[in-house]
Amino acid sequence: MFYRLARQNSHRHRIFDVFGDFCEMLAIEFSQAVDLTQREQRGARYAALLQKYDRSERERFAQMTACLVNALESGMSDCLGTLFMGMDLGNAGTGQFFTPYEVSRLTAQMTLLGADELIARKGFITLSEPACGAGGMVIAAADTLRSMGVNYQECMHVTAVDIDRTACHMTYIQMSLLHIPGIVIHGNALAPQSPWEQWVTPAHVLGRWDERLACARAVEAMRALLVDDPAHHPGADDAPPPAKTGPDCPNRRAATQMALF
Ligand SMILES: C[S@@+](CC[C@H](N)C(=O)[O-])C[C@H]1O[C@@H](n2cnc3c(N)ncnc32)[C@H](O)[C@@H]1O
């Protein structure tokens, strides 16, 4: 059905543009609901894209969205990645051959062994995907956590990068529909200091992940301070001064407050 609709929309446009424009417009729709900082610029881009299509073509885009939602509702998978590969839209030059979902799932199961214990201790895990494609590996990680009885919507934060815009849009759409907290960065993973654009998912914003991540970083920094403090590495013969090891130790007090916050 999705293929048929996309092909019908490609009578006046290249199929590559139809798929890319569909993904970009849908990504913008999600982003507009949560990211006020990009609202004006993305709104203008959306209007420009929409103008390219007539009424019946726009209606087909809405039906393509429904197909995608229905597919993801019936089970987690790399739905857009499979469609993208099925339509032969991959750029061989940048190695756009997406991993079959079953293989991503197996990889995630091996990588996330013991993740439930880590989450029980730390509250959440972070996951980095530096060449995300359509987000298949990210979805497989969420799927794996879910099958371990862990709520990935609360306990996993993803940073996904791709050099290709449509890949970023696909990942962002699927992460948004599956309510995966994270940031999708359009950029070169080999030059991470200069990203071109970034997309925060609705789950990232609604879950206040900027604060959660900042807090976790502060706790880590405090822990590092405590470990560096020689008072907390007493040798056999040199007992630390009492005031520094008790609850009044400034480092320990601050770290406790951060952890409680
Ligand atoms: C082989 S695909 C893998 C996609 C996904 N990880 C999967 O397993 O399905 C590689 C992806 O890396 C992206 N890519 C290639 N060079 C990159 C770079 N320097 N920085 C970020 N992404 C890159 C491509 O656009 C492509 O989407």
**Residue 84's CB: how many other CB atoms inside 10 A?**
22
Ligand 1 mean position, distance from CA 100 (Å): 14
- 108 has pLDDT over 70: yes
Q: Where does the pLDDT of residue 261 fall: very low under 50, low under 70, confident under 90, or very high at 90 and above? A: very low
Ligand 1 atom at shortest distance from the alpha carbon of 190: 19
pLDDT tens track for 25-63: 999 999 999 999 999 999 999 999 999 999 999 999 999
pLDDT tens track for 139-174: 999 999 999 999 999 999 999 999 999 999 999 999
Average pLDDT over residues 241-247: 44
Whole-angstrom Cα distance, residue 6 to residue 1? 9
Higher model confidence: residue 235 or residue 151? 151
Ligand 1 mean position, distance from CA 177 (Å): 21
Q: Where does the pLDDT of residue 230 fall: very low under 50, low under 70, confident under 90, or very high at 90 and above? A: low
Average pLDDT over residues 210-225: 91
- 245 has pLDDT over 60: no
- 180 has pLDDT over 80: yes
- 232 has pLDDT over 60: no
pLDDT at res. 62: 97
Average pLDDT over residues 181-204: 94
pLDDT at res. 255: 34
pLDDT at res. 179: 98
Ligand 1 mean position, distance from CA 250 (Å): 46
Ligand 1 mean position, distance from CA 243 (Å): 53
Any atom of ligand 1 within 6 Å of the Cβ of 133: yes
Q: What would the DSSP string read from start to end of 112-178?
A: TTTHHHHHHHHS-EEEEETT-TTSHHHHHHHHHHHHTT--HHHHEEEEEEESSHHHHHHHHHHHHHT
Q: To the nearest whole percent, how much of the chain has pLDDT over 70?
A: 87
Cβ atoms of 134 and 171 closer than 8 Å: yes
Any atom of ligand 1 within 6 Å of the Cβ of 94: yes
Ligand 1 mean position, distance from CA 199 (Å): 17
Q: Which of 132, 137, 169, 170 to mutate to test the pocket of ligand 1 (most atoms within 8 A of CB)?
A: 132
Which one, of 203, 136, 211, 197, lies nearest residue 170 by Cα?
Answer: 136
Which one, of 66, 76, 191, 186, lies nearest residue 132 by Cα?
Answer: 186
Lowest mean pLDDT among 87-91, 147-151, 159-163, 208-212: 87-91
DSSP tag of 95: T
Any atom of ligand 1 within 6 Å of the Cβ of 135: no
